[in-house]
């Protein structure tokens, strides 16, 4: 029996916009409602985690898990510029207190993709002013809730904009008008099947945010190098504010990382991808306490670049290759360049067959355990995700969750994979 250390964190993760519902002051809510939207459906009530968080966390606890990663929604806390909502802070205080009452370690993400609508109207994630705005938001949250938060991820998948930029170039250059081959090439639910509508959609975006459509810069917009710098300056600003107010809080960031593997002749592509996905960000992370690693699959590179899966390759519902061993490989790669603690902040599989999820978890956590045996400082693992939820532009079709939800009644149905993960925490692999 391979047991994890007693203090090892094992649990599950969610993001506010994907589970809470009615995030009406956010940029994503705005984009979901537009005519010609890229979203297959709107988030609406989501899975009503906003009101049902105690039930959901209790299911996590009853399974034997001890960690819950969730995000605080900036658009709720600061629905208009400079106006902070005390009632919403109290809501997240209740979430945190319920975690502590049940001996669950909360890992809080301050920005998980969605932003206040007003931030986008002010220039969004390509604007210098966002650095100060984000710092103000972080200061308010930590001043109110800092004593309840042991771990903070400032920004989720800070590198996703660069990955989206590369995919968008590929999609726009694809004369077939279909982006189906690209859905497996990025670790977020984007809809690439509506290329023909993009121009009309971006025009509507500009009108919705009251700015030139070329200046609409959400977190998922293809990012310039200056935008990359601004994101990381936001991280540095947040870390500085958090440490100034409460030095005991452990601060990190999360990155979307593939297991890049080379066939003969593909080594240069692997080196380039690893630099762009990870090594490039290291100078900004030197004062961080931990790194959040997020991995779902691998990419294989040949002499001409990425080799797409063939018809014999086992795929997930998201179009990724089903390859749980990617996680251990990514942790080993990161550990060559990062000598501080690592938390696996996301890892999971979208499938309608829960037996596949159980298998995925077992194989992925076997890799994590091997990394521990090799002396790598992995201190936690949060499966993505606790609940079947809103997968961004792909809507509710994707099923990553340990808990199924009937959205007509919001009834929860825990899957076998939830208790399986809990048993790993209690008894080992």
Report yes or no on 357 lying in a domain: no
Mean per-residue pLDDT, 192-218: 82
Q: Which of 78, 126, 157, 321 is catalytic?
A: 157
Give the tens place of pLDDT for each residue, 362-378.
999 999 999 999 999 99
**What residues contact residue 369 under an 8 Å CB cut-off, 6+ apart?**
2, 4, 429
pLDDT of amino acid 167: 74
Range of the domain at 61: 9-253+378-427
Mean pLDDT check: name the lowest of 36-40, 53-57, 133-137.
36-40
pLDDT of amino acid 177: 43
> If you average pLDDT over every residue of the chain, what do you get?
94
pLDDT of amino acid 186: 67
Give the tens place of pLDDT for each residue, 234-281.
999 999 999 999 999 999 999 999 999 999 999 999 999 999 999 999
User: Active-site residue 276, yes or no?
Assistant: no
Report yes or no on 245 lying in a domain: yes
Q: Is the dihedral of CA 230, 187, 282, 77 positive or negative?
A: positive
Q: Is the pLDDT of residue 412 over 50?
A: yes
Three-class secondary structure of residue 175 per DSSP: coil
Mean per-residue pLDDT, 211-225: 91
Segment of 24-38, 46-60, 164-178 carrying the highest mean pLDDT:
46-60
Report yes or no on 389 lying in a domain: yes
Q: How confident is the model at residue 201 (pLDDT cuts 50, 70, 90)?
A: confident
Report yes or no on 48 lying in a domain: yes
Mean per-residue pLDDT, 314-340: 97
Q: Is the dihedral of CA 315, 172, 228, 25 positive or negative?
A: negative
Q: How many domains does the chain have?
A: 1
Residue 84 belongs to a domain with what CATH number?
3.20.20.80
Report yes or no on 323 lying in a domain: no
pLDDT of amino acid 1: 84
pLDDT of amino acid 320: 93
Q: Is the pLDDT of residue 121 over 90?
A: yes
Q: Is the pLDDT of residue 175 over 90?
A: no
Report yes or no on 103 lying in a domain: yes
Task: Give the Cα separation of 266 and 277 in Å (integer).
Answer: 17
Six-digit token string for 164? 């989206």
Task: Give the Cα separation of 34 and 295 in Å (integer).
Answer: 31
Report yes or no on 165 lying in a domain: yes
Report yes or no on 34 lying in a domain: yes
Task: Give the Cα separation of 33 and 30 in Å (integer).
Answer: 6
């Amino acid at each position: 029996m391979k047991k994890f250390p007693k203090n090892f964190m094992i649990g599950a993760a969610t993001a506010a916009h994907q589970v809470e519902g009615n995030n009406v002051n956010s940029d994503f809510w705005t984009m979901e409602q537009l005519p010609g939207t890229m979203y297959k459906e709107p988030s609406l009530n989501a899975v009503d985690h906003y009101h049902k968080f105690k039930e959901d966390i209790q299911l996590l606890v009853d399974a034997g898990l001890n960690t819950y990663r969730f995000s605080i929604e900036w658009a709720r806390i600061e629905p208009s510029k400079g106006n902070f909502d005390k009632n919403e802070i109290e809501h997240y205080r209740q979430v945190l207190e319920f975690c502590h009452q049940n001996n669950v370690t909360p890992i809080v993400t301050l920005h998980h993709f969605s932003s206040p609508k007003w931030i986008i109207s002010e220039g969004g994630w390509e604007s210098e002013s966002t650095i100060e705005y984000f710092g103000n938001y972080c200061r308010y949250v930590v001043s109110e809730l800092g004593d309840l938060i042991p771990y903070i991820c400032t920004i989720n998948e800070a590198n996703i904009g660069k990955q989206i930029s590369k995919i968008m170039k590929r999609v726009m250059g694809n004369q077939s008008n279909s982006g189906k081959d690209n859905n497996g090439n990025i670790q977020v639910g984007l809809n690439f099947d509506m290329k023909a509508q993009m121009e009309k959609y971006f025009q509507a975006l500009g009108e919705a945010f009251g700015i030139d459509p070329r200046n609409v810069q959400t977190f998922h917009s293809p990012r310039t190098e200056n935008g990359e710098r601004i994101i990381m300056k936001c991280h540095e600003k947040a870390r500085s504010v958090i440490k100034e107010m409460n030095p005991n809080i452990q601060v990190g960031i999360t990155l979307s990382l593939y297991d890049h593997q080379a066939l003969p002749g593909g080594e240069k592509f692997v080196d380039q991808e690893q630099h762009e996905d990870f090594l490039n960000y290291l100078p900004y992370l030197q004062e961080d306490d931990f790194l959040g690693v997020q991995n779902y699959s691998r990419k294989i590179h040949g002499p001409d670049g990425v080799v797409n899966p063939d018809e014999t390759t086992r795929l997930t519902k998201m179009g990724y290759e089903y390859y749980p061993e990617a996680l251990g490989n990514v942790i080993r790669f990161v550990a060559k360049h990062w000598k501080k603690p690592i938390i696996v902040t996301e890892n999971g599989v979208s499938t309608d067959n829960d037996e596949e999820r159980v298998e995925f978890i077992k194989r992925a956590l076997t890799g994590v355990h091997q990394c521990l045996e090799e002396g790598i400082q992995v201190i936690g693992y949060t499966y993505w995700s606790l609940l079947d939820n809103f997968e961004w532009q792909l809507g509710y079709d994707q099923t990553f969750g340990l808990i199924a939800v009937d959205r007509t009644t919001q009834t929860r149905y825990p899957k076998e994979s939830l208790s399986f993960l809990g048993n790993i925490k209690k008894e080992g692999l």
